[in-house]
Amino acid sequence: MRVQVAILGGGPSGLALARLLGLAGVEAVVLERRDRAHVLSRIRAGVLEWGSADLLRAAGVGARMDAEGQVHDGTVLASDGTATRIDFRDLVGRSVMVYGQTEVTRDLCEALDRDGPRVIHGAEVVAVEGLEDARARVIWQDQAGARHEVAADWVAGCDGFHGAGRRTMAAGPLKAFERVYPFGWLGVLTERPPASAEVLYARHDRGFALASMRNPRLSRYYIQVPEGTRAEAWSDDAFWDELRRRLPTETAEALRTGPALEKSVAPLRSYVGEPMRRGRLFLCGDAAHIVPPTGAKGLNLALGDVRLLAEALIPACLSGDLAGVEAYSARALDRVWQAERFSWWMTTLMHLFPESGAFGLRMQRAELAHLARSRAARQALAEAYTGVSL
């Protein structure tokens, strides 16, 4: 097979890139290791920056998002029984869209099924070669064990932290920056109306809690748990009891509990790999960077990469203009580090760190009090939360 762009990974970033390239007339193919059902079963992020929503609209996959998604004009930070609302619309004139990553993926899949480019499921990429040659080669294996090769002018690694894209990049001059946090998030998805009208972050001396939602009938809740915690060690009742302790009283009283449709523990880490380009290979999303979910940046950061990479690859493929290709890594990393900073700050502000002690707790309270009193501080938070601009 011969294409202009081979895309590794059929998650939202790989599918979004394929869609943008296809609309521009660039020949591409997506190689995804898992089957469609598995891809659509991943329950991940649910908050889209307005720029991400606009990107999906530009890709022609925003109709269902606009019909079913929830526009949120703010978020709430709570601590010690008090809550501060961050009014995005008033502070920065922007909003966010609550629309699950699973739904974004479904919309992109349907568009590619209808219009192309082709998505090949069950394709295990075993090697990416020829990155410094006139054409790259992607070697992949199907579920029957047969080996195949795709020749491509460019390769986009959108296949996550453990994928072939990052492994190939790591064989070159990749420099990694990482922090692993000593806790995780125990999350429960339940078919009940949300306890809070907007996403609510709660700092508590017992640990962090988050009240979120996927739609008006489906709620997502998290509590901070020690590193190494197993989800099956927590009963539903134990989770709801602990969540109530950490939420503000009014929110806890509004909480409607139900059976856990999904329960899992997500470890938290900050990671950046530099550069994001090696020859004919580019990285997007989790293949290049990971943020703790506190700032709602993971999917948004990946879609930002996609936008920049599409802007680089379309002229490179259609007219041979390589200016965007040469600038991609530096441009993407500038935005990545801004999102990493915000996600790290939010995580530090709202979580219980074992090593912080009494001083650390007082500093968190002082910072939250500053946010409550200072419009400028709230404005800076709102600007970062709704979207980091280049």
The question of whether 12 is a catalytic residue gets the answer no
Answer for the pair 254, 221: CB distance below 8 angstroms, yes or no.
Answer: no
The question of whether 297 is a catalytic residue gets the answer yes
| Of 194, 275, 289, 297, catalytic | 297
| Of 117, 194, 292, 293, catalytic | 293
| Of 221, 222, 328, 385, catalytic | 385
Closest CA to 227 of 160, 182, 290, 269: 182
Instruction: Give the whole-angstrom CA distance, residue 184 versus residue 188.
Output: 13
Answer for the pair 183, 207: CB distance below 8 angstroms, yes or no.
Answer: yes
What is the token pair recorded at 97? 């869209």
| Of 72, 204, 289, 351, catalytic | 72
User: Which alpha helices (DSSP H) does the chain contain, by range?
Assistant: 12-23, 36-41, 50-58, 63-68, 88-92, 101-115, 164-170, 236-246, 249-254, 298-319, 323-350, 357-373, 375-386
Q: Which residues of 173-200 are buried (b: 16+ CB within 10 A; e: fewer)?
A: ebeeeeeebebbbbbbbbebbbbbbbbb
The question of whether 289 is a catalytic residue gets the answer no
| Of 201, 221, 222, 328, catalytic | 201
The question of whether 181 is a catalytic residue gets the answer no
The question of whether 248 is a catalytic residue gets the answer no
Active site residues: 72, 201, 293, 297, 385
